[in-house]
Each structure stands twice: as structure tokens, then as C-alpha cells.
Amino acid sequence: MYRRDLLKFSSLLLGGAVSSSVSRALVAAAPIHSGLVRTIFNQDQQASVALLSEMIIPTTDTPGAVEAGVPDFIATIVSEWYNITERQLFFRGLDALDDYCLSVDGKSFRETSDVTRLEALRRQEQDAIEFHVQQASVDARPSDENPPFFDQIKELVVVGYYASEVGAREELSYLPMPGHYDGDYDFSKVGRQWTS
């Protein structure tokens, strides 16, 4: 059921230009939205979230965010865990991505080229960096300003991915039952951070 939805969705989303790693990940056998979580995202928003997830933690020699189920995690958090303000900021961020892409080539974040999509996210990242510089300069005065969208989406993808079974086991190294302690262990033997 979900796979059929996925394929339909992928073709709808990507049209003919299926070449980037993002696209490859989307057609891989992994859920964009499993249908198992309650979500307030519409299909376009869910597609944007899947694209963003994969841009932040892409499929490389290990699975990326989509295969790890991050879009479902984000749908759950935004739908059930976020408060109204956070939710509004999140949707405003998705809209801003669309607005930028539309201004460049008349296509939405989902429909535009990989290059434009990347630039749209980089601009969000730059906004976040400037926000933090500004925050740091106002003499520790507490700010009522809300976190930038880039911080939101990055936090969601990172927590969604590294605490997922795929992220914990396949990208990092998961050691639930070490059995002993060695405080002088060669990193080369594991090659990855431990899942915390």
C-alpha cells in the first residue's frame, strides 16, 4: 500500500528530472509517509519535509533520513509535540522555501531544480546564523524571538535520524550491551561514534 503511494507520489513530485541523490532516495524502498502516524501535513508539505530530511542527512554509503523514517518522525513532532507558535514558525519556514524558489524560476520547493532547492535551504541557514550572531550581541538580554526555521528542521532531522534504528545501528554504532569497559579503545576498530 505504502509503496504504491510512494511511487505515485515520487513521479508526481519529481516529474522527469530524476537524477539527484535526493531523487534516488525517494524512489528507494523507504517511506516518505507510512500512513501510520497522525499528521497535519498535506501531501505537498510532507513532500517538502521528505526533501529537506534527505538534504540534511542524505543517502550515501549508508541510508539517509528518508529510509530512517525521519519524515514520519517530523510529522509526529509537528502534529503532536509542537505548540502552536512552533507549528506556525515551521509552516512559515516551508512557505519561505516555496517563496524563494518561486521567485527564482516560478516553481515550488518541491518542483524546482536541485540547485535552487539547495540555495533556498542555504538562505535559511544563513538567516539562522545571522539570528544567532544578533542574539549573542545583545548583552545576554533574553529574547522573546523564536528560533529560526533552519534550527527547527535541522533539530528534527538530527534527532529523528540519529535516534532512529537505522541511524543508530547503520550510520553510528549501537552498543546496547558492551559487557565490559575499555577506556583505551582504538577508534579504527569501530570507525563511528557510538550512539548516545
Partner 1 sequence: MSTIQFDAIVVGSGVSGGWAAKELTEKGLKVLMLDRGRMVEHGTDYTGEHMPPWKTPFHGKPLRELYAEEYPVQSTQYAFSETTRHFYNNDKNNPYIDQGKDFVWYRAGVVGGKSLLWGRQVYRWSDLDFEANKKDGHGVDWPIRYKDIAPWYSHVEKFIGVSGQAENLPHLPDGEFLPPMEMNVMEKAFKARLEQNYDDRILTMGRAAVLTQPHNGRAACHYCGPCQRGCSAGAYFSTQSSTLPAARATGNLTLKSDAVVEGIDYDPETRRASGVRVIDANTMEHTTYTGKLVFLCASTVGSTQILLNSRSEQFPTGLANRSGALGHYLMDHTYRTGAAGIFPGEFNDKVVYGSRPSGVYIPRFRNVSDEDDADFLRGYNYQGRASRVGGMGHALNTPGFGADYKHGLRRPGPWRIRLSGFGECLPYKDNRMELIESKKDRYGIPQIKFHFAWHENEMKIRRDIMKQGEEMLRRAGAVNVEGFDENATGGMCIHEMGTARMGNDPMTSVLNSWNQAHDVPNLFVTDGASMTSASCVNPSLTFMALTARAVDNAVKQLKAGQI
> How far is C-alpha 77 from the chain's CA centre?
12
Q: Kindly list the distances between the CA atom of residue 45 and the CA atoms of 48, 78, 120, 144, in Å, as whole numbers in the listed order.
A: 5, 12, 16, 27
- Closest approach, Cβ 162 to partner 1, in A, equals 6
Give the residue from 3, 164, 149, 6 showing the smallest Cα distance to 78.
Answer: 149
Least distance from C-beta 149 to partner 1, angstroms?
Answer: 13
For 16-53, b where at least 16 C-beta lie within 10 A, e where not — what string?
eeeebebbebbeeebbbbeeebebebeebbbbbbbbbb
Q: Quick one: 7 or 190, whose CB is closer to partner 1?
A: 190
Q: How far is the CB of 68 from partner 1 (least distance, A)?
A: 9
Contact 124, 97 (CB under 8 A): yes
Query: Cβ 45 to partner 1, closest distance in Å?
Result: 19
**Binding residues for partner 1, per CB under 8 A?**
21, 55-58, 60, 64, 73, 76-77, 81, 83, 121, 125, 129, 154-155, 158-160, 162-165, 168, 171-172, 174-188, 190-196
Least spacing, CB of residue 172 vs partner 1, in Å? 8
Q: How far is the C-alpha of 171 from the C-alpha of 60, rounded, in Å?
A: 10
Cβ nearer to partner 1, comparing 47 with 77: 77
Three-state secondary structure call for residue 194: strand
Nearer to partner 1 among residue 33 and residue 154 (C-beta): 154
For residue 15, the minimal CB distance to partner 1 (Å) is 23
Residue 43 or residue 195: which is nearer to partner 1 going by CB?
195
> Which lies closer to partner 1 via its Cβ, residue 4 or residue 181?
181
Nearer to partner 1, 9 or 161 (CB): 161
CA–CA distance from 104 to each of 79, 116, 117, 149 (Å)? 30, 8, 10, 20
